[in-house]
Amino acid sequence: MSASFPIDRIRNIGFIAHIDAGKTSVTERVLFASGRIHRVGGVDQGTTAMDWMPQERERGITITSAATTTYWRDFRVNIIDTPGHVDFTAEVERSLRVLDGGVVVLDAVAGVQPQSETVWRQADRYEVPRICFVNKMDRVGASLDHTMDTLRHRLGANPVAVQLPLGTESSLCGVLDLMNSKAIVYSRGEDAPPEEGPVPDEEQDRFTQYRETMIEKIVETDDRLMIKYLEGEELATDDLCGALRKATLSRSLIPVLCGSALRGIGVDPLLDAVTHYLPAPTDVPPVQAILDEDEEVYLEPDEDGPLAALAFKVMTDPFVGRLVYLRVYSGTLKAGATVVNSTKGTRERTGRVLTVHANRREEVDGVGAGNICGAIGLKNTFTGDTIASVNKAVVLEPPRFPEPVLSVAIEPATRADQERLDESLRKLEEEDPTFQVSYNKETGQALIAGMGELHLSVLVDRMKREFSVEANVGKPRVSYREAITVPVRSEGRFVRQTGGHGQFGHVLLNIEPRERGEGFLFENKITGGSIPREYIPAVEAGVKEAVSNGPLAGFPVIDLKVTLIDGSYHEVDSSELAFKAAGSIAIRDGVRKANPMLLEPIMVGEIVTPGEFLGDVIGNLGTMRGHITNIEGQGETQVVRALVPLSETFGYTTALRSLTQGRATHTLEFQSYEPIPSDLLKSIIGGRR
């Protein structure tokens, strides 16, 4: 792969969607249509190129985001296929941080689903332009109009159909291209290229109606075209296409395409739409970076500029070792070059640079700005770190990840497994920012925390297969939090007098509750030098360490503001250690006096059930302390939305299947921490102690 591929002909895109909408099948068809693979695999058979992990093939779901590069016409398309399950939301988060555009895959029967909303919000946060592909148009009940309605109502999007299905449900045989006024028919089998022809006579009325709607929506975004349209002039296809591209890049319109990935219908036009409407690296604003801690700089995607690349994923490969995935924003990453990890301030050496196709690699000399690649040899680079030129060490904004909500105790099956268990936990923690390992000092147990039961189950399975570690896992345990309810002032004094040099630290803190979700804030308001400046970070460190273990049940204390307002020191005996201890003492005493309360994670649940089981589902949610927020019907199917405490959801999949004869499905997504009812407080605190 040449580093000098024209940057305006590169597309970095991701397929994002709800679980089972067909992302991996679409990706598979895209790779086949573009000649990257020569046989189409199936998710159900476990033969897809992108779902390469054994756990993915067995479960039929995507677990880890997989990257690949393919070519379409004269464009290079770097693709990331992301998971749809909420437990693996970090994979979507890190992928969207480095992508320029997104293809949102929607189910033509279900329309916008819960995880579709989650990934849409994530794409909004990173300002990613996107197009939609309505998949499964050959299913019974498929409706392009209904799917577009859910885009408007659920996501507040402004969709515009640029295609219509040709045929309905099982008789689907192609698509009508509204932009180029032609029919694209797939009649010679799944693996044959489509045939293009005129719009059939029986479809002319529908075609004309939808094309007129498309033109109206496009000209609303372009004043020049609007004047031409109002004056009755014929609008050129190139002008319409260019205006739609601008509207897509500004996210004021969302082009909607349709087809069936399983049968290969609509995939070629989808690739054309990716190259026409989604941005090249030169179309997105220059990336913002920080130079020398406080100076903001903007980096253009220039191959000859200073190197700036963001590490967005780390994985341990059994063949090549530690592999770091990078998005190069500026400059060229060359094999064997000395670079600096500007996040940590350490020098690194890139051993080899690779282009990646799922779990296969191709070695190259270098990769230029605007591309995604893998690098071997970066020993101390982790997710979110920036790799930069030695002479211009800029720092890029890292992706943000949610906190884990579920934890289990883990221990090796035999004493001989202890060392291998520690090593495997360390490697998995490096790979996955939402997987955390901690040790309970009281019990001596290792605790692993993640985003849900499936997340932890997959990680334990990986330990067994990839690292040959047999481990015993405890029951899932909820990661509660603690918070204070009233402001207090607290004093911390640490005095130790021994024969020689003593220890002296004295601080006065104001401790106040913050709004839910605002997090921890430390503020220094020392005036007049009552505490020397060099001891302030030690006070903050002591405070942070102490709030990780709350007074009620030892859970972290969240959403509080701590202000250091006064204190005193001793010329000889004061030290950083003494002030760290004083800060810790002050915050522990203060939190205890500030009426602490216990918070539990609340999940947003969406249950899709046949109408005949609606009463049973609602009744069962009542026994789980669930609060129903909305019920809406889609044909004979009912969709129930409810807020449910995480502690009540363990085993819910099995319970729901037995209630509905296996016909209902559900998704759960973390929303917020809320106070726990007083009648449950004692049992949780007692159990913890």
* 292-342 confidence digits (pLDDT tens): 767 888 888 888 889 999 988 887 776 677 888 899 999 999 988 899 999
The confidence score (pLDDT) of residue 345 equals 86
Phi, psi of 274 (to 5 degrees): -60, -45
The confidence score (pLDDT) of residue 583 equals 95
Range list of β-strands (E), 8-155:
10-17, 66-72, 75-81, 101-107, 130-135
Give the pair of three-digit tokens for residue 113.
Answer: 């689903």
The confidence score (pLDDT) of residue 328 equals 92
Name the DSSP class of 663. Answer: -
pLDDT score of 534 more than 50: yes
Residue among 574, 509, 516 at smallest CA distance from 546: 509
More confident residue, 613 or 91: 613
Query: Lowest-confidence range among 135-139, 145-149, 401-405, 427-431?
Result: 401-405
Instruction: Say which residue the tokens 């990613």 belong to.
Output: 128
Contact 165, 172 (CB under 8 A): yes
More confident residue, 451 or 689: 451
Residues 320-345, buried b or exposed e (16+ Cβ, 10 A)?
A: eebbbbbbbbbbbbbbebebbbbbee
The confidence score (pLDDT) of residue 443 equals 56
The confidence score (pLDDT) of residue 64 equals 61
The confidence score (pLDDT) of residue 46 equals 47
The confidence score (pLDDT) of residue 357 equals 67
248 strand-pairing partners: none
pLDDT tens-digit map of 401-425: 777 777 788 888 887 788 888 888 8
Task: Give residue 205's pLDDT band: very low, low, confident or very high (50, 70, 90).
Answer: very high
pLDDT tens-digit map of 644-669: 998 888 778 778 878 887 777 777 77
Neighbour order of strands in the sheet with 101-107: 66-72, 75-81, 10-17, 101-107, 130-135, 254-258, 159-161
15 strand-pairing partners: 81, 103
CB within 8 Å of 617: residues ≥ 6 apart: 607, 609, 640, 656, 659, 660, 664
Query: What's the length of the chain?
Result: 689
Contact 301, 282 (CB under 8 A): yes
Residue among 124, 114, 131, 120 at smallest CA distance from 26: 131
The confidence score (pLDDT) of residue 70 equals 87
Give the pair of three-digit tokens for residue 547.
Answer: 């709030």
pLDDT tens-digit map of 256-286: 999 998 888 999 999 999 999 999 999 988 8
The confidence score (pLDDT) of residue 469 equals 85
The confidence score (pLDDT) of residue 63 equals 55
Name the DSSP class of 265. Answer: B
pLDDT tens-digit map of 149-159: 999 988 889 99
Phi, psi of 592 (to 5 degrees): -60, -35
**Could you write out the DSSP letters of every residue in 553-573?**
TSPPB-SEEEEEEEEE--TTT
Q: Give the C-alpha separation, 160 to 241, whole Å.
A: 13
The confidence score (pLDDT) of residue 477 equals 75
% of the chain exceeding 70 in pLDDT: 90
Mean predicted lDDT score pLDDT of the chain = 85
Q: Count the neighbouring beta carbons within 10 Å of the beta carbon of residue 418.
A: 15
Task: Give residue 52's pLDDT band: very low, low, confident or very high (50, 70, 90).
Answer: very low
The confidence score (pLDDT) of residue 51 equals 43
Residue among 57, 88, 13, 86 at smallest CA distance from 359: 57
Give the pair of three-digit tokens for residue 551.
Answer: 């007074």
**Could you write out the DSSP letters of every residue in 334-396?**
ETT-EEEETTTTEEEE--EEEEEETTEEEEESEEETT-EEEEE--TT--TT-EEEBTTB-EEE
Phi-psi region of 365 (alpha: psi -120 to 50; beta: other; left: phi over 0): alpha
pLDDT tens-digit map of 207-262: 999 999 999 999 999 999 999 989 888 889 999 999 999 999 999 999 999 999 88
More confident residue, 553 or 593: 593
Tell me if residue 231 falls in helix, strand or coil.
coil
Q: Give the C-alpha separation, 373 to 69, whole Å.
A: 9
Residue among 37, 242, 30, 45 at smallest CA distance from 133: 30
Residue among 175, 12, 179 at smallest CA distance from 103: 12
Contact 365, 335 (CB under 8 A): yes
Task: Give residue 486's pLDDT band: very low, low, confident or very high (50, 70, 90).
Answer: very high
More confident residue, 493 or 96: 493
The confidence score (pLDDT) of residue 362 equals 80
Helix axis angle, 144-155 to 114-125, nearest 10°: 60
More confident residue, 191 or 142: 142
Contact 557, 481 (CB under 8 A): yes
pLDDT score of 527 more than 50: yes
